[in-house]
């Protein structure tokens, strides 16, 4: 996968892209990153990328020209059109399902804005996706882009050591993940559930399914409204409700 990021603050990405799983993914050649300052694409002598909004009002608006030129430069001579992603509080709320969708692409271009907003023609005629990471406003799109890049790259084949890991993450299955424990079995008097020490893999798997349902029911019951429960899971959920 190729990932290009358009931003006015490229230095914000150096530590993130050069660390942990994101760095290992690039070393494994599963992905390559390039961060671009789109000020370099401005046709203004002074590198201006924003201007006052027509009709008046507070703040400055990012101009269409530098961003159009930057995206067109990055997309030219490519066999497959890129997904052009605008990080924006007005975009669709980001989900694991969207991460899985983007992980199938060959080329992603992220646009990270600042100031009051974008010239509307960027939305209408350039981008393919508008994404928000939550119902709050950040100073710019950089932190949101980092979140999306991380969530996508870890899904690429060969990036994580265990190919089953991303499949069992919270939200990937449609439910929240079950609790995890590691050694020691007794820490300050708090003990690991006996079932996990039993060696009975069938019962352990049943416990994990049930605890995943319990955690989802308590913390995110809205997920159960759309999750297709099996007959066994329905039975477990009824048991959970009686227990709690």
User: Which residues does the annotation mark as catalytic?
Assistant: 89, 116, 154, 169
Q: How many CB atoms lie within 10 A of CB 44?
A: 12
C-alpha 76/C-alpha 1 separation (Å) is 16
Residues whose CB is less than 8 angstroms from the CB of residue 115 and which lie 6 or more positions away in sequence, other chains included: 50, 59, 60, 61, 62
Q: Report which of 142, 31, 154 is spatially closest to residue 99, judged by C-alpha positions.
A: 154
E strand or H helix at 13, and its extent?
none
Instruction: With H, G, I as helix, E, B as strand and everything else as coil, classify residue 88.
Output: strand
Identify the bridge partners of residue 112 per DSSP, sorted by sequence position.
Answer: 87
CB 161, CB 34: distance < 8 Å: no
E strand or H helix at 37, and its extent?
strand 32-37
């Amino acid at each position: 996968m190729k990932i290009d990021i358009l931003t006015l603050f490229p230095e914000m990405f150096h530590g993130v892209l050069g660390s942990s799983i994101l760095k290992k993914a690039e070393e494994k050649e599963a992905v390559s990153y390039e961060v671009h300052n789109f000020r370099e694409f401005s046709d203004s002598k002074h590198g201006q990328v924003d201007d006052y909004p027509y009709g008046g009002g507070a703040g400055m608006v990012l101009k269409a020209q530098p961003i159009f030129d930057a995206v067109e430069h990055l997309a030219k001579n490519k066999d497959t059109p890129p997904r052009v992603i605008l990080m924006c509080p007005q975009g669709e709320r980001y989900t694991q399902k969207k991460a899985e969708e983007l992980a199938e692409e060959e080329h992603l271009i992220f646009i990270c804005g600042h100031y009051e907003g974008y010239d509307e023609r960027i939305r209408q005629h350039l981008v393919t996706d508008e994404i928000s990471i939550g119902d709050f406003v950040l100073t710019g799109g950089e932190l949101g882009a980092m979140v999306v890049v991380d969530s996508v790259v870890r899904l690429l084949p060969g990036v994580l050591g265990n190919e089953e890991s991303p499949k069992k993450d919270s939200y990937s299955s449609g439910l929240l993940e079950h609790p995890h424990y590691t050694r020691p079995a007794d820490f300050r008097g708090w003990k690991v559930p006996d079932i996990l020490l039993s060696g009975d893999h069938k019962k352990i798997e049943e416990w994990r399914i049930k605890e995943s349902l319990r955690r989802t029911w308590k913390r995110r019951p809205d997920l159960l409204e759309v999750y297709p429960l099996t007959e066994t899971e329905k039975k477990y959920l009824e048991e959970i409700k009686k227990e709690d």
